[in-house]
């Protein structure tokens, strides 16, 4: 019987350097991203629909490109690739803030997308290579904490930058954070030892083709994308919705922070609570809760009719929209606690034997499809129910936002449809698996008849 080595929190210097870099990068990204729809419409001049398309492709490609750029990083080395990524990020953020032109904005976002997508596999790869199997869970728990701290900080700082200085200063702040990441990389980061052979691009594309042809896996990806379509409205719809209906003093940046706060507080106890449930059961709970979160947000007119535009809670007063946003966003974070820890476990079981790693590498396609569809839909829905006030006459302003909450009905419908599709998916795949199990079971031997001896 072998003695199990005592676990520790000690990791190589490269591990801690990578995590500090991740903190600054996430701080930059989420500060920019929470205000991006506002910036592209209010400063650059894109319409709501145009903004939806621009961000949809930007955000979707951010989750599609890491597999290809990870192979590039393997070839040129992690350090060189990380320096290049931060150069792209710093230039992209600075350019986005400096020039409010449509063409410049698209070039800027392309640079940010390439830098961000290139950085993802490097940091996660460093975390993996700087930890052994026994310590990997601890290593990634530190990594995810850094992600959450960076995201929370960036969104918190974005609010005073927007209201006190202007939207463009959020991009300057993001550029400064990316520049700090570049300096830390240049001075302190060293590539971890790589013992594996880099995969050629052709092999990566062949693997992608096999994944896409797997109908069961892709059906699961598309169904769960329904969850993230609603979750993505924190960045697609919520900033414009709250500011247009409440005013410039609204705080969409701080409201968006409710989600990660709830996840950090609840994910461990909820994961423990549902540990005896099958993964699909936990996912189903999340898929049921997420459309209810959208319905909660849609109820603000009822609250406003009953209590007016300001509801007092002792020392503070809140707009009904703010109150229902807090409830809805908290419920989204609560739902995410049921989904995230079990989704990867369930998705891995849909992959063919010995290809689990390949398929998990493409599990991010849920976010790719969700961002692509969700941001485009948001643009059209905002234009229809919560239009840009600069395009309205004083007469139109009196009635333009009467049905703004209808936006959340649409997303709730998508969520409930995804929940029903998950139930159908489970029923169909369970039936197929039972038939396959019966077909592959070894035939039972015929019973030998008993013959009485004379």
Domain range for 212: 204-434
R_g of the chain computed on alpha carbons: 25
Q: For residue 410, how many C-alpha atoms fall within 13 Å in the half-sphere facing its CB? A: 18
Closest C-alpha among 38, 341, 22 to residue 151: 22
- CA pair distance 92, 77, nearest whole angstrom: 22
Q: Hey, is 5 helix, strand or coil?
A: coil
Query: Is residue 176 in some structural domain?
Result: yes
Q: Hey, is 311 helix, strand or coil?
A: strand
- Residues 192, 243, single domain; the answer is no
Q: Are 174 and 32 in contact (CB under 8 A)?
A: yes
Query: Is residue 444 in some structural domain?
Result: no
Closest C-alpha among 173, 127, 181 to residue 154: 173
Residue-level pLDDT at 1? 43
- Residues 291, 421, single domain; the answer is yes
Picking from 199, 230, 255, the residue at the C-terminal end of a domain is 199
Q: Are 399 and 389 in contact (CB under 8 A)?
A: no
- Residues 402, 322, single domain; the answer is yes
Q: Are 189 and 127 in contact (CB under 8 A)?
A: no
- CA pair distance 219, 366, nearest whole angstrom: 10
Cα–Cα distances (Å) from 24 to 71, 119, 175, 176, 441, in that order, read 24, 12, 10, 9, 54
Picking from 165, 199, 233, the residue at the C-terminal end of a domain is 199
Query: Is residue 5 in some structural domain?
Result: no
Closest C-alpha among 163, 226, 161 to residue 422: 226
Query: Is residue 80 in some structural domain?
Result: yes
How many C-beta atoms surround the C-beta of residue 133 within 10 A? 6
Q: Are 362 and 211 in contact (CB under 8 A)?
A: yes
H or E, element range at 384: helix 365-385
- Residues 83, 189, single domain; the answer is yes
Residue-level pLDDT at 372? 96
Picking from 199, 231, 248, the residue at the C-terminal end of a domain is 199
How many C-beta atoms surround the C-beta of residue 344 within 10 A? 14
Per-residue pLDDT 10s for the chain (454 aa) are 444 457 767 788 888 999 999 999 999 999 999 999 999 999 999 999 999 999 999 999 998 888 778 777 878 888 999 999 999 999 999 999 999 999 999 999 999 999 999 898 888 888 878 877 677 767 877 887 888 899 999 999 999 999 999 999 999 999 999 999 999 999 999 887 654 556 677 777 788 888 888 888 899 999 999 999 999 999 999 999 999 999 999 999 999 999 989 988 888 888 888 888 888 889 999 999 999 999 999 999 999 999 999 999 888 899 999 999 999 999 999 999 899 778 877 777 777 776 766 677 777 889 999 999 999 999 999 999 999 999 898 888 889 999 999 999 999 999 999 999 999 999 998 888 888 777 776 766 566 565 555 4
Q: Are 154 and 27 in contact (CB under 8 A)?
A: yes
- Residues 56, 112, single domain; the answer is yes
- Residues 187, 323, single domain; the answer is no
Residue-level pLDDT at 3? 47
Query: Is residue 170 in some structural domain?
Result: yes
- Residues 188, 218, single domain; the answer is no
Query: Is residue 443 in some structural domain?
Result: no
- Residues 274, 399, single domain; the answer is yes
Domain count, the chain: 2
CATH code at position 224: 1.20.1250.20
Q: Where are the beta strands (DSSP E) in 64-146?
A: none
Query: Is residue 417 in some structural domain?
Result: yes
Cα–Cα distances (Å) from 168 to 93, 237, 359, in that order, read 10, 20, 39
- CA pair distance 416, 424, nearest whole angstrom: 13
Interior/surface letters 15-35, b for 16+ CB within 10 angstroms, e for the rest:
bebbbbbbbbbbbbbbbbbbb
Q: Max Cα separation, the chain? A: 110
Query: Is residue 442 in some structural domain?
Result: no
- Residues 306, 179, single domain; the answer is no
- Residues 113, 246, single domain; the answer is no
- Residues 213, 140, single domain; the answer is no
- CA pair distance 397, 428, nearest whole angstrom: 50
pTM above 0.85, yes or no: yes
- Residues 179, 219, single domain; the answer is no
Q: Are 189 and 79 in contact (CB under 8 A)?
A: yes
- CA pair distance 398, 239, nearest whole angstrom: 21
Give the residue carrying structure tokens 């990316």: 178
């Amino acid at each position: 019987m072998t003695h199990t080595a005592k676990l520790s929190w000690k990791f190589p210097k490269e591990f801690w350097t990578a995590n500090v870099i991740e903190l600054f990068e996430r701080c930059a990204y989420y500060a920019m991203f929470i205000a991006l729809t506002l910036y592209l419409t209010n400063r650059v001049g894109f319409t709501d629909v145009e903004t939806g398309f621009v961000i949809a492709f930007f955000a979707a490609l951010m989750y599609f490109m890491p597999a290809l750029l990870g192979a590039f990083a393997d070839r040129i080395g992690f350090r060189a690739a990380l320096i290049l990524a931060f150069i792209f990020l710093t230039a992209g953020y600075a350019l986005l803030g400096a020039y409010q032109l449509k063409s410049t904005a698209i070039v800027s976002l392309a640079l940010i997308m390439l830098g961000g997508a290139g950085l993802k596999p490097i940091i996660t790869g460093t975390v993996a290579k700087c930890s052994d199997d026994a310590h990997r869970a601890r290593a990634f728990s530190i990594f995810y904490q850094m992600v959450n701290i960076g995201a929370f900080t960036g969104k918190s700082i974005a609010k005073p930058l927007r209201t006190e200085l202007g939207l463009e200063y959020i991009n300057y702040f993001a550029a400064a954070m990316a520049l700090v990441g570049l300096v830390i990389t240049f001075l302190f980061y060293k590539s971890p030892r790589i013992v594996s052979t880099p995969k050629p691009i052709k092999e990566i594309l062949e693997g992608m083709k096999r994944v896409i042809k797997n109908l069961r896996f892709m059906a699961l990806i598309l169904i769960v994308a329904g969850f993230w379509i609603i979750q993505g409205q924190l960045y697609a719809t919520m900033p414009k919705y709250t500011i247009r209906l409440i005013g410039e003093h609204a705080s969409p940046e701080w409201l968006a922070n409710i989600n990660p706060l709830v996840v950090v507080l609840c994910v461990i106890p909820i994961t423990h609570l549902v540990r005896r449930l099958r993964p699909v059961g936990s996912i189903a709970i999340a898929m049921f809760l997420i459309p209810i979160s959208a319905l909660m947000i849609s109820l603000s007119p009822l609250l406003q009719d009953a209590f007016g535009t300001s509801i007092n809670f002792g020392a503070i007063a809140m707009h009904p929209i703010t109150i229902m946003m807090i409830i809805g966003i908290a419920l989204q974070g609560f739902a995410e606690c049921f989904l995230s820890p079990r989704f990867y476990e369930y998705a891995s079981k849909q992959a063919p034997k010995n290809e689990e790693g390949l398929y998990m590498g493409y599990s991010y396609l849920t976010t790719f499809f969700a961002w692509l569809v969700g941001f485009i839909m948001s643009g059209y829905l905002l234009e229809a129910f919560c239009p840009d006030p600069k395009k309205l006459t004083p007469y139109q302003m009196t009635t333009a936002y009467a049905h703004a909450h209808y936006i959340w009905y649409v997303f709730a419908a998508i969520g409930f449809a995804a929940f029903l599709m998950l139930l159908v998916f489970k029923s169909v795949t369970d039936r197929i698996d039972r038939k396959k199990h019966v077909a592959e079971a070894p035939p039972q031997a015929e019973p030998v008849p008993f013959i009485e001896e004379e």
